[in-house]
Structure 1
Amino acid sequence: MTAELPFFVYGTLRPGEVNHDLFLRGRTAAEEPALLPGARLYEGPGYPFAVEHPGGSVSGELVTAAPGAYEELLAALDRLEEYHGPGRPRNVYDRVLREAVRPDGTPVRAWVYLAAPLVARRLTESGTPIPGGDWLARRPADR
């Protein structure tokens, strides 16, 4: 089993967004701003998808589970992100280990949910990138 790593969240799990209170309230010890290098953010049906992309970056938060809440939080986020296990064809997102970067430049290994391969291919071929890689800065009409 991998150590209890933080989660890098970039969409509806960020503070002020719909899933933040539903999934993270009472389950976190810390939430801090961070960037995910090597990724691009795309519009989805009410939520974004991050896709691996050299030279890009995605804004989000590093979320550290509260003591004793890690397993419950991991299971809840896997369900929300429709992650069924490594390489499963029904995955909408894949949970992968990546290095996020704190504002001071400190790298942190974290779990991040990236678009699963079939979803990622569709997005890179015909998806709509979110300028600047920040879900919270998208057009006000989309909110």
Structure 2
Amino acid sequence: MTAQDTPADLPFFVYGTLRPGRCNHDRLLRGRTVAEVPATWPGAVLYEGPGYPYAVAEAGGGVRGELITVAPGAYGPVLAALDALEEYRPGDPRNLYERIPCEVRVDGGGTARAWVYVAAERLARRLRVTGTVVPGGDWTG
């Protein structure tokens, strides 16, 4: 399934500078959400990056973050702002991040489908070989 095949109004799973209390959350999400719930994406591993982390979809890990539900009426502008922040352009081979759907476990029980920005495949291949895994999958940068 690709980003183009998935309903656009999914919540977002964030694990780096978009988490509550971080610089990009304050700048792009504050006041534009209706829920921010701790969650884990078990289908990924988190790698250190230059100033920010990269999640890589792969078994055997777990990335900690928050499930962010955007307020009605703010979804389009938030989606555009997050895509711009991550420099994500659908189908562009120069992307460092791709936006994909994932299944996260919400603290307290249950699961949710969400958008997540992950390392693009060419970068993910390099990280798997030479990257530094973030211990416990929880970035505190």
Paired with 1:58 and 1:43, the residues of 2 have a C-alpha distance of 12
Cα RMSD after superposing both structures? 1.2
Q: Percent identity?
A: 62
Partner residue, 1:43 = 48
Q: Which stretches of structure 1, 4 residues or longer, exceed 4 Å deviation after superposition?
A: none
> 5+ residue gaps in structure 1?
137-142
Which digits, 9 at most, give the CA deviation of each residue in 1:81-115, with x for residues without a partner? 11100x32011111001101111231100000010
TM-score when normalising by structure 2: 0.92
Indicate whether 1:15 and 2:10 are aligned.
no
1:55: Cα distance to partner?
Answer: 1.6
Taking the TM superposition and a 5 Å limit, the aligned residue runs for 1:54-73 are 54-73=59-78
What is the alpha-carbon distance in structure 2 between the residues aligned to residue 102 and residue 79 of structure 1? 27
- C-alpha distance in 2 between matches for 1:123 and 1:24: 28
1:1-143 matches, within 5 Å, as 2-85=7-90, 87-136=91-140, 143=141
Counterpart Cα distance in 2 of 1:122 and 1:3: 30
TM-score normalized with structure 1 length: 0.91
Q: Which runs of 5+ in 2 are unaligned?
A: 1-5
Q: Secondary structure at the match of 1:119?
A: helix
Aligned residues: 136
